[in-house]
Structure 1
Amino acid sequence: MLFTYILALGISCIVALVVASGLLRRRVYPLPLPPGPRPLPILGNALQLDTKRPWLTYTAWGKTYGKIIHSRVLGIDFIIINSETIARELLDKRSANYSSRPVIPTNKLSGLDFGTLFLPYGETLRRHRKIYHQVLRAEVSVSYHEMYSRHANELVINLLGTTSDPWQQTEAYTASLIMTVTYGYLAHGHEDLFFNPRTRTPSYWANKLVLQRGLPCSQPFLSVSASVDDIIFNIQHQVAVEKLPFWCFGGGFALMGRSTELAQQLLNEPFDEVKAQIADGTASHSLVADFLSQAHDDADEETMKAVALMAYIAGIDTTTATLRIFLLAMVLYPDVQARARRPLPYLDAVLLEALRWYPIGPLGVPHATLNDDVYDGYFIPKGAMVMVNQWALSRDEDIYPDASRFDPSRHLTIDGKLKDHFVSHLAFGHGRRICPGRWFAENSLWTAVSAILAVLHIDHAKDSNGDKIEVKPQFGTGLVVHPEPFHCSFVGVNTAREGHLREMMKSK
């Protein structure tokens, strides 16, 4: 324990010295930066942040300093946007300047630098996105309808009779569906090797190493109370991690080495399996099979491997989290559940409200400015990390009165039409970094939600005494936020439909 404390202190001192040297060379800006809290020397605003839920701190600061604020942590400039209007003005209309990502030294060490999500703006990113457009655009996503339906029906059967947290069933749906669409891989239950979180699979490692660790921390801090593991993965920009002595990081490099090994396995194994199936004529319709069956002048197999695996990694956690938020809302708002079974526009509004009610990515994925910019008289420096505080946007009482309530009708006009489209939601990002899989997300979520409501009634679970188990919405932390485990029950309300689904499952 003492060694860990000393090691953490030592690394903290190294970081402090490097950052301090950088601060001595700080630029003099021609215009004022956006307003924000007064920073301390070296640490900046690190000690003022809620390090677990920084979006709450940024939201509170927004009430004091305005819709666009500046924060500095360890010498890094953060621009926090608390307004949809400003987000669209900068990230959409000025996308040429706001489409890159911050530099993340640990990505290369962890073998995760292949990911589209982390690529700087440039030719490699354009090649990735061109493939995504070819295989995941709206009309192609619709062509996978039979796959969506088959997996959604299996989800309904798996949920029947469940009285515990539905995490396992929802993740199994998402993982197996994405594996089928991406690789034509037919999973065999939640114990399947390719998405069992207790083994070497993307679900576990994406969450631990990519979604939680791979991105620059939105709440960087410097504290001797932090674990060595935390410090390793929060060092960025000013510190060239790969140049520090190997012995400084204890088990950190072992973890990154394991990550590299796993990344290579996950990049190659399912892809090579599709190639083998094409060779022997057994390949199913999938993104990879379609790619390999066509000629491509500007993309090679290594690019397609990265695109395919990133589609899996980016989709599994986000879609699972949204499904769990939907189920949580149905337990807490039975009136919404009853209405959602009737009009289809209202069901669409339910999905929009699920994205708004508790944003699964409260701070989105950070952007980085390629050049200096000026907005509303404020200077935004080159290299600044720019984040949209989706939590603040979702809690704007001027736009969403009684914002903490789950109310799908807020997304409908007086005559019952949708005000906006699912794929246009801020949750999918902005500009040239908007999520290319948003149509797939819409179709997979809509199919699952409609299948569940057509057959099941979602209610509170009961304890051994027959008393209702109360559910209180609580959420975790991280880049992708999930509801904490909650109990609920699923009871069939359409015996004919349920029987039909069971017969279909038997004939698989």
Structure 2
Amino acid sequence: MLFTHILALGILCIIALVVALGLTRRRVYPLPLPPGPRPLPILGNALQLDPKRPWLTYTAWGKTYGNIIHSRMLGVDLIIINSETIARDLLDKRSANYSTRPVLRTAELAGLGFNTASLPYGETLRQHRKIFHQVLRAEVSVSYHEMYSRHANELVIKLLGAPSDLLLQQHIRGYTASLIVAVTYGHLADGHEDSFLTRAHELLSITKHIVPPERAALFTAFPFLEKLPSWCFGGAFALMGRCRELCQQLLNEPFDEVKAQVANGTASHSLVADFLSQAHDDADEETMKAVALMAYIGGIDTTVSVLHTFVLAMVLYPDIQARARAEIDQVVRHDKMPCLDDRASLPYLDAILREVLRWYPLAPLGFPHATSNDDVYDGYFIPKGTIVMVNQWALSRDEDVFPDASRFDPSRHLTVDGKLKDLFVNHFAFGRGRRICPGRWFAENSLWTAASAIIAVLRIEHAKDSNGDRIEVKPEFRTGIVVHPELFHCSFESVNTAREGHLRAMMNSK
């Protein structure tokens, strides 16, 4: 009973504070804000959003208010961009003003302040991006082609021998996780690697639970919440404590192990080993620790989502799958696996991957930017501190750019003579301006290698039930910062016994 009274009193205090903030934070701007739905006095537009798929609400608003929209959530200004042109004008051409991030207090409380993606624009971010460039720029990323191929080949064998097609996501996650760990830290001992992957997966799960902006907004709007007893938030504070513990373990332990291997001459080729082989001071090492762990956190969920969506598309569009396989068979000998050296000769496969990213954007609202100073665009005022979000879903459904946008059509990314229209690494899925994904070269190489290996050896089809009838598949997705296809049934069949035999021989020789 006492807890109920305390909770009720707390809620009343919060409501009173919200009302007070709404009355005291009104500002007079020199120009109108971008148009948008009328906010409620306290919650702003929060109740007008689809809570699971806010990008759909923002896309619908765009049809009423235009391609740049103002919204308000708990007293915080948001600008939503529904246009490629506006996104380029602001985040690319005016990147100096649009390259910082909103403060995610929950991330700081959970020990995730090292996260490159959420760092404010400044010297620390520049140090992170400098090291990312050193260890993951295009030419360095390509140097790991043997690791890409080895792990992709293992994925193909696992898919072919999977006792259940519903293990698909597990196998894709295993491919992505083991590849990132191998490239980042080298071939760690099995026991240590398993321990790392288990704890890293736990860290990622906690991060997805506590970091979403809607959770962080409460702590930003009401800083006094941090002072309340931890029992007020159920298990949330306990998760933050566990997150801090995991961060410290994963930042230091694998890095220190590679450092010891470099010292005694046993280190394998990896990002960390290459970094440590050069002269750096202790401050640089702390940055490298953060960069190395971010390579995992930033790469695992996104790559899994894209590869899972790729397989879904191949099930739904067998003609496109067959065309990609025919292209590979024409370029690559039937007893050899495609590799990155063949990529320039396989434009249709690249077009498929671009279409996967467009068809169902892996992060429909991207990662939020924030303005460092007041700005004016097209006669509209954009205040300092405004959160700016690019609605990638709206960009992907722009009928002027992508006619019949709901249809999966790789040909839209090819010229009439079959060449790619532009660079894959500049796809909007990789972000904008000075915050463009620094690991995009690694991401595209790992995606391409896995996709080419799967298509070269396997036919992906609809699964059949116990009566021999085809199990239908619908493109449905779980929501979140990064979206994933819902689990679906499919089957994998070898269509090239020579390549399959080649892969099995390589696996047996390990």
Measured against aligned partners, the alpha-carbon deviations of 1:122-147 in whole angstroms (never above 9, x if no partner) come to 10000000000000110110101011
Aligned position for 2:221: 238
The 1:189/1:258 distance shift into structure 2, 3 A limit, reads: closer
Aligned to 1:422: 424
In the other structure, the counterpart of 1:135 is 135
Hey, what does 2:21 align to over in structure 1? Answer: 22
The residue identity in structure 1 corresponding to 2:96 is A
Q: Cα 1:495–1:7, aligned 2, differ >3 Å: closer, same or farther?
A: farther
Task: State which drifts further: 323-332 or 237-246.
Answer: 237-246
Counterparts of 2:3 and 2:311 in 1: how far apart (Å)? 41
Q: Note if 1:31 corresponds to 2:34.
A: no
Q: How does 1:487-506 map to 2 (within 5 A)?
A: 487-506=489-508
Please show how residues 13-412 of structure 1 align to structure 2 within 5 Å: 13-23=12-22, 24-162=24-162, 163-165=164-166, 166-186=168-188, 192-196=194-198, 201-206=199-204, 208-217=205-214, 233-240=216-223, 241-296=225-280, 299-343=283-327, 344-412=346-414
Contact kept? 1:102, 1:216, Cα under 8 Å: no
Paired AA for residue 203 in structure 1: H
The 1:406/1:9 distance shift into structure 2, 3 A limit, reads farther
TM-score (norm 2): 0.92
CA deviation after TM superposition for structure 1 residue 11, in Å: 5.3
Q: Does the 8 Å CA contact 1:55/1:392 hold for their aligned counterparts?
A: yes
Change in CA separation of 1:14 and 1:205 when aligned onto 2, cut-off 3 Å? farther
**8 Å CA contact retained: 2:153, 2:503:** yes
The one-character-per-residue Cα deviations of 1:362-418 (angstroms, maximum 9, x if unpaired) are 000000100010000011111111000000111112211221111100111111111
Query: In the alignment, which of 454, 457, 460 is matched to residue 455 of structure 1?
Result: 457
SS in structure 1 of the partner of residue 78 of structure 2: strand
User: Structure 2 vs 1, CA of residues 271 and 492 (structure 1 numbering), >3 Å: closer, same or farther?
Assistant: same
Match of 1:431 among 433, 443, 463: 433
The answer to whether the 8 A contact 2:77-2:387 is kept is yes
On the 8 A contact 1:127/1:298 being kept in 2, the answer is: no
Task: Give the partner amino acid of 1:358.
Answer: Y
| 8 Å contact from structure 2 (residues 97, 373) kept in 1 | yes
Q: For residues 391 and 78 of structure 1, do their structure 2 counterparts lie closer, same or farther at Cα, with a shift above 3 Å needed?
A: same
CA distance 1:377–1:233, shift in 2 (3 Å): closer
Q: Counterpart of 1:264 in structure 2: which amino acid? A: Q
CA distance in structure 1 between the aligned counterparts of 2:386 and 2:105, rounded to whole angstroms: 16
- Give the equivalent residue in structure 1 for 2:466: 464
The answer for the alignment partner of 1:222 in structure 2 is none
Aligned length: 488
Q: 1:191 to 1:295 in 2, by over 3 A?
A: closer
Quickly say closer, same or farther: Cα 1:403–1:245, change in 2 above 3 A.
same
Greater helix proportion: 2
Residue 22 (structure 1) shift? 2.7
Secondary structure, in 3 states, of the residue corresponding to 2:220?
Answer: coil
Please give the secondary structure, in 2, of the residue aligned with 1:346. helix
Judging changes above 3 Å, is the alpha-carbon distance between structure 1 residues 215 and 100 closer, same or farther for their aligned structure 2 residues?
farther
Change in 2 beyond 3 A, CA 1:190/1:301: closer
1:455-476 per-residue CA deviation (whole Å, 9 max, x = no partner) reads 0000111112221111111101
| TM-score normalized with structure 1 length | 0.92
Distance 2:279 2:3 in 1: 54
Alpha-carbon distance change, 189 to 81 in structure 1, aligned in 2, over 3 angstroms: farther
Looking at structure 2, the residues matched to 21 and 278 of structure 1 have their Cα atoms a distance apart, in angstroms, of: 59
Shift of the 11–390 alpha-carbon distance from structure 1 to 2, 3 Å rule, reads: farther
Distance of 2:192 and 2:326 partners within structure 1: 32
Distance verdict in 2 for CA 1:318–1:100, change over 3 Å = same
**Structure 1 runs not aligned, ≥5 long:** 218-231
Q: State the superposition RMSD in angstroms.
A: 2.0
Q: Distance in 2 between matches of 1:93 and 1:407?
A: 30
The verdict on how the C-alpha distance between 1:190 and 1:16 changes in structure 2, with shifts beyond 3 A counting, is: farther
- 1:247 Cα offset (Å): 3.9
Residue 282 of structure 1 and its aligned partner are, at CA, apart by 1.2
Give runs of aligned pairs for residues 466-485 of structure 1, distance below 5 A: 466-485=468-487
Shift of 1:492: 0.4
Give unmatched runs, 5+ long, in structure 2: 328-345
- Structure 1 residue 12: Cα displacement: 4.7
Query: Given the superposition, is the C-alpha separation of residues 285 and 6 from structure 1 closer, same or farther in structure 2, using an over 3 Å criterion?
Result: farther
